[in-house]
Structure 1
Amino acid sequence: MQFPANSPPHYRRKPNSDVRRCYRPIKFRCESDPPFISASSSSRELKISVSSDFTRRSESEKQKVKRWIHFVGVGGCGMSALAMLALKQGSEVSGSDIAWSRFMDGLHEAGARLYVGHSISNIHGKKYGSCLPDALVVSSAIPLDNVEILHAKAMGVPVIKRGAWLGMITKHYNLIAVSGTHGKSTTASMLAYVLNAVGDDLTAIVGAHVPQFPGGNILSGSGPNFVLEADEYDDCFLQLLPFIAVITNVEWEHVDIFKDEEAVKNSFSKFLKKITVGGHLILCGDSEGACSLLSHTSIGTVSVPSVWSPQPLDAGYRVTSYGILNRNEWQASSICKNSRGGTDYALYHKGCLVADISLQLAGVHNVLNSLAVIATIITLINDGWPTQKLINCIKLHLNNFVGVSRRFEFIGNINNCHIYDDYAHHPTEVCAVLQAARQKFPLKALLVVFQPHTFSRLATLLKDFATAFRDADRVIVTEVYSAREKNIWNISGRDLASSIIFPPSEFIPFVVNVVDKLAFEISSSPDQELLVLTLGAGDVTNVGPNLLEKLQQISRGGSTTK
Structure 2
Amino acid sequence: MELPATSPSTYRNRPALSRRNPRPSDLLLRGGVGLGCVSNHVRARVPTSEERDRRVSVSVSVRCTDREAVDLCHRKEKDWLHFVGVGGCGLSALAMLALKQGYEVSGSDIGWSSFMDGLQEAGARLYVGHSVTNMQKHNGLILPKAIVVSSAIPQDNVEILYANSVELPIYKRDYWLAKLTEHYNLIAVSGTHGKSTTASMLAYVLQAMGDDVTAVVGAHVPQFDGGNIISGSSQNFVLEADEYDGCFLGLLPYITVVTNVELEHVDIFEDEAAVIAIFRRFLKQIRAGGHLILCGDSVGARSLLGHRKQVNGSDYYNPAKSSLEPCSDSYRVTTYGISSSNEWHASSLRSNLQGGTDYKLCHRGCPVADISLQIPGVHNVLNSLAVIATVSALFGDHRHIHESVDLVRLHLNSFKGISRRFEMIGSVRGCHIFDDYAHHPTEVRAVIQAARHIFRQKDLLVVFQPHTYSRLAALKNKFATALSDADLVVVTEIYGSRETNLWNISGWHLATSITGPPSEYIPSLEDVVDKLALYICKDPDRETLILTLGAGDITFVGRKLLHELQQILPKANS
Scaled by the length of structure 1, the TM-score of the pair is: 0.88
Matched residue SS, 2:335: strand
Give 1:88's aligned amino acid.
K
1:503 aligns with 2:517: yes
Q: Any conservation in 2 of the 1:281–1:317 contact (CA below 8 Å)?
A: yes
Report the equivalent of 1:80: 92
1:34-63 per-position Cα deviation (integer Å, ceiling 9, x unaligned): xxxxxxx99854473662569897799545
Report the equivalent of 2:227: 216
1:464-520 per-position Cα deviation (integer Å, ceiling 9, x unaligned): 111102321111111111111111111111110110011211111111111101101
Matched residue SS, 1:193: helix
2:14 to 15, 19, 29: 19
Instruction: Name whichever of 504-513 and 189-198 sits farther off.
Output: 504-513
1:284 aligns with 2:295: yes
- How far residue 102 of structure 1 moved from its aligned partner, in angstroms, is 1.7
Q: Report matched runs for 1:43-192 at 5 Å.
A: 45-46=25-26, 48=28, 51-52=62-63, 62=74, 64-126=76-138, 131-192=142-203
Report the equivalent of 1:548: 562
Give 1:467's aligned amino acid.
T
By relative contact order (CA 8 Å, sep 6+), the higher-ranking structure is: 2
Matched residue SS, 1:480: coil
Q: Any conservation in 2 of the 1:42–1:88 contact (CA below 8 Å)?
A: no
1:475 aligns with 2:475: no
- How far residue 388 of structure 1 moved from its aligned partner, in angstroms, is 1.5
Unaligned residue ranges in structure 2 (runs of 5+): 1-10, 32-61, 319-326
Give 2:304's aligned amino acid.
L
Q: How many residues align?
A: 521
Q: Any conservation in 1 of the 2:209–2:407 contact (CA below 8 Å)?
A: yes
1:445-471 per-position Cα deviation (integer Å, ceiling 9, x unaligned): 100000111111101001111110232
1:488 to 490, 495, 502: 502
Matched residue SS, 1:377: helix
1:259 aligns with 2:239: no
Instruction: Name whichever of 487-496 and 179-188 sits farther off.
Output: 487-496
Instruction: Name whichever of 104-113 and 237-246 sits farther off.
Output: 104-113
**Identity, % of aligned pairs?**
62
1:111-160 per-position Cα deviation (integer Å, ceiling 9, x unaligned): 21211111111112349x97221111000111100111011111111111
Q: Any conservation in 2 of the 1:244–1:281 contact (CA below 8 Å)?
A: yes
CA distance in 2, matches of 1:210, 1:264: 28
Report the equivalent of 1:460: 474
RMSD: 2.8
Unaligned residue ranges in structure 1 (runs of 5+): 1-10, 12-17, 25-40, 300-304
Q: Any conservation in 2 of the 1:46–1:91 contact (CA below 8 Å)?
A: no
1:410 to 407, 415, 424: 424
- How far residue 340 of structure 1 moved from its aligned partner, in angstroms, is 1.6
CA distance in 2, matches of 1:532, 1:559: 22
1:191-230 per-position Cα deviation (integer Å, ceiling 9, x unaligned): 0000000000010001000000000000000110000000
1:382 to 376, 386, 396: 396
1:316 aligns with 2:330: yes
Instruction: Name whichever of 506-515 and 375-384 sits farther off.
Output: 375-384
CA distance in 2, matches of 1:54, 1:359: 53
Quickly say closer, same or farther: Cα 1:204–1:290, change in 2 above 3 A: same
Matched residue SS, 1:199: coil
Report the equivalent of 1:429: 443
1:272 aligns with 2:252: no
CA distance in 2, matches of 1:524, 1:463: 33
Q: Any conservation in 2 of the 1:46–1:54 contact (CA below 8 Å)?
A: no
Report the equivalent of 2:257: 246
Matched residue SS, 2:405: helix
Quickly say closer, same or farther: Cα 1:222–1:298, change in 2 above 3 A: closer
- How far residue 341 of structure 1 moved from its aligned partner, in angstroms, is 1.6
Report the equivalent of 2:53: none
Q: Any conservation in 2 of the 1:45–1:90 contact (CA below 8 Å)?
A: no
Matched residue SS, 2:28: coil
CA distance in 2, matches of 1:501, 1:402: 35
Quickly say closer, same or farther: Cα 1:126–1:278, change in 2 above 3 A: farther
CA distance in 1, matches of 2:425, 2:71: 48
Q: Report matched runs for 1:292-331 at 5 Å.
A: 292-296=303-307, 315-331=329-345
Matched residue SS, 1:506: strand
Report the equivalent of 1:352: 366
Q: Any conservation in 2 of the 1:310–1:319 contact (CA below 8 Å)?
A: no
